[in-house]
């Protein structure tokens, strides 16, 4: 019961009117900036950081946390309706979410995403409450070799998420890995593939690539098809998913919650990797994997559940160890320091009101997001009823404005146009842009981790295998690679024995 006392006290903190108001403000801002491609929670928190000077520490962190996980909800809306993933973790949702929208089932996709996000976030909060110290201790065992192995496994899984064929997915992923090497070498300082351009010295941002390939590329492709009759989406009768659809999605939601919670603790691409792994898991488990990419409910439920669970569990290393798991958590770290509160193992004992107040505010925040999301689904779906001649220019304007706000550079707009043309060509020749974008995100993580590992091992590559965790991940990777070969051999043996 001693353990429950501070937990219950945390609810007393978050239920104070001022803290409830800051929680509401945080999730509303988060949802709005999630809808606007390019801005993202990290940039928003950075802009609002000076405001936290004059706010009580608990209220300030509750608001900033609400912005972070609220953005995960908002990013789903543009991914489903406009095929514009504002965050890397929303890329996988595009595959089936937008396909469902084209079938007139945008309400179902957004409803399932909202429910999955709520369940994944809530399960992750419970895990955060009960297991934070244990999980944080395990996360300490992850070093560069473990991250390298996980990133490599993620790149391999990329080949399973595209619906344009595995060969084309591998080619797209290879291009993504190549693009990840553009810019100044972190270790040597040498410029790579920059063509003496200062604009490319720091590499290419995720936003211009994603906005160009998915947003502008899709619009250019649809303009070419304008001579075909544009079919209006079917009327959406129910925004709340049916019982059959909920039964179909419940397994994906459960598995996505666990995957997101575990992988969200890891630094780097936790939310991105968790959404990818959750999607690949459902596709491999499915009796009809060919449904994925064409409007499978599980293809929306799994990644949306996983990335929201990961967004919550990423608070574990920050609050218990003082280790930020991603860029947004690094800004939260700074916000705590501004308030004179150093995050780490002593946070629970020295500032229990803040620790448990922030954690318990996530329960309230997730309920608020669910309450806001479901009734507004019908409003969001009306976007699809706007004539393409009007919707296309608006989408282009949102895309270009969103990209410009990231770095305030006109060069990023040119990058969007270039990747828009590339996205159009990929679409025309049957290549899926998703694997390219995901491989780009994971590529930078993998390169840094591999090179750090080789420095640790003094060039001995066997070090990856001798470490227990990285060795296990590499064994799983090898099994995934060999499984199709084994199946093929067994199939040939059965054919021979049948004659």
- The predicted model gives 385-412 an average pLDDT of 76
Task: Report domain extents, the chain.
Answer: 3-466
If one compares 71 and 179, the residue with the highest pLDDT of the two is 179
If one compares 160 and 481, the residue with the highest pLDDT of the two is 481
pLDDT digits (tens, 9 = 90+) for 191-249: 888 888 888 888 888 778 877 887 788 778 777 765 454 444 444 445 677 788 888 88
Per-residue burial over 86-117, b = 16 or more CB atoms within 10 Å of its CB, e = otherwise: bbbbbbbbbbbbbbbbeebbbbbbbbbbbbbb
The model carries a pTM of 0.71
243-264 vs 270-285: helix crossing angle, rounded to 10 = 140
Per-residue model confidence (pLDDT) at position 446? 84
Per-residue model confidence (pLDDT) at position 422? 92
pLDDT digits (tens, 9 = 90+) for 280-291: 888 888 888 888
2 in helix, strand or coil? coil
Q: Report residue 24's pLDDT band, with 50, 70 and 90 as the boundaries.
A: very high
If one compares 296 and 391, the residue with the highest pLDDT of the two is 296
Strands (E) located in 119-162: none
Among 199-213, 277-291, 381-395, 463-477, which stretch is predicted with the lowest mean pLDDT?
Answer: 381-395
- Highest mean pLDDT (candidates 17-31, 311-325, 364-378, 398-412): 17-31
- The predicted model gives 278-304 an average pLDDT of 86
pLDDT digits (tens, 9 = 90+) for 148-162: 887 887 777 776 665
Per-residue model confidence (pLDDT) at position 257? 92
Q: Which of 96, 396, 102, 441 is nearest to 245 (CA)?
A: 96
If one compares 404 and 389, the residue with the highest pLDDT of the two is 404
Instruction: Give percent above pLDDT 90 in the chain.
Output: 6
Per-residue model confidence (pLDDT) at position 305? 92
Among 122-131, 221-230, 452-461, which stretch is predicted with the lowest mean pLDDT?
Answer: 221-230
Q: Is the dihedral of CA 101, 72, 220, 283 positive or negative?
A: negative
Say which residues have a Cβ less than 8 Å from residue 170's Cβ, sequence separation at least 6. Answer: 159, 435
């Amino acid at each position: 019961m001693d353990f429950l006392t501070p937990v219950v006290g945390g609810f007393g903190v978050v239920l104070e009117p001022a803290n409830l108001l800051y929680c509401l403000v945080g999730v509303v801002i988060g949802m709005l900036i999630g809808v606007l491609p390019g801005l993202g929670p990290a940039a928003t928190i950075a802009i609002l950081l000076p405001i936290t000077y004059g706010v009580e520490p608990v209220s300030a962190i509750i608001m900033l946390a609400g912005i972070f996980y609220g953005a995960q909800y908002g990013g789903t809306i543009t991914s489903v309706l406009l095929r514009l993933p504002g965050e890397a973790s929303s890329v996988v949702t595009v595959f089936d979410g937008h396909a469902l929208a084209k079938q007139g089932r945008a309400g179902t996709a957004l409803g399932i995403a909202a429910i999955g996000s709520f369940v994944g976030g809530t399960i992750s909060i419970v895990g955060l409450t009960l297991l934070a110290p244990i999980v944080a201790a395990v996360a300490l065992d992850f070093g560069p070799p473990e991250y390298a192995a996980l990133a490599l496994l993620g790149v391999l899984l990329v080949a399973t998420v595209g619906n344009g064929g595995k060969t084309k997915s591998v080619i797209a992923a290879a291009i993504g890995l190549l693009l990840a090497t553009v810019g100044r070498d972190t270790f040597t300082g040498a410029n790579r593939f920059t063509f003496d351009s200062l604009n490319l010295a720091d590499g290419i941002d995720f936003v211009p690539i994603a906005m160009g390939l998915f947003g502008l590329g899709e619009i250019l492709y649809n303009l070419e098809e304008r001579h075909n009759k544009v079919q209006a989406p079917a009327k959406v009768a129910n925004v709340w998913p049916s019982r059959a659809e909920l039964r179909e999605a419940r397994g994906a939601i459960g598995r996505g919650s666990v995957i997101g919670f575990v992988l969200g603790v890891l630094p780097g691409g936790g939310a991105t990797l968790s959404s990818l792994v959750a999607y690949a898991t459902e596709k491999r488990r499915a009796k009809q994997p060919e449904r994925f990419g064409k409007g499978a409910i599980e293809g929306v439920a799994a990644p949306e559940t996983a990335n929201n669970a990961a967004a919550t569990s990423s608070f574990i290393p920050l609050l218990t160890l003082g280790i930020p798991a991603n860029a947004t958590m690094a800004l939260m770290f700074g916000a705590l320091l501004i308030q004179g509160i150093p995050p780490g193992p002593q946070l629970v004992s020295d500032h229990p009101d803040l620790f448990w107040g922030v954690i318990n505010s996530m329960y309230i925040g997730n309920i608020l997001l669910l309450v806001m999301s479901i009734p507004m689904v019908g409003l969001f779906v009306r976007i699809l009823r706007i004539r393409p001649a009007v919707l296309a220019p608006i989408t282009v304007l949102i895309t270009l404005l969103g990209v410009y706000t990231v770095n305030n550079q006109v060069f990023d707009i040119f990058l969007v146009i270039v990747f828009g043309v590339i996205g159009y060509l990929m679409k025309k020749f049957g290549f899926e842009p998703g694997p390219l974008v995901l491989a780009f995100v994971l590529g930078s993580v993998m390169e840094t981790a591999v090179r750090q590992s080789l420095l640790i091992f003094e060039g001995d590559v066997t070090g990856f295998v001798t470490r227990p965790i990285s060795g296990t991940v590499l064994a799983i990777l090898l099994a995934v690679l060999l499984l199709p070969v084994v199946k093929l051999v067994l199939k040939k043996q059965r054919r021979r024995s049948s004659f």
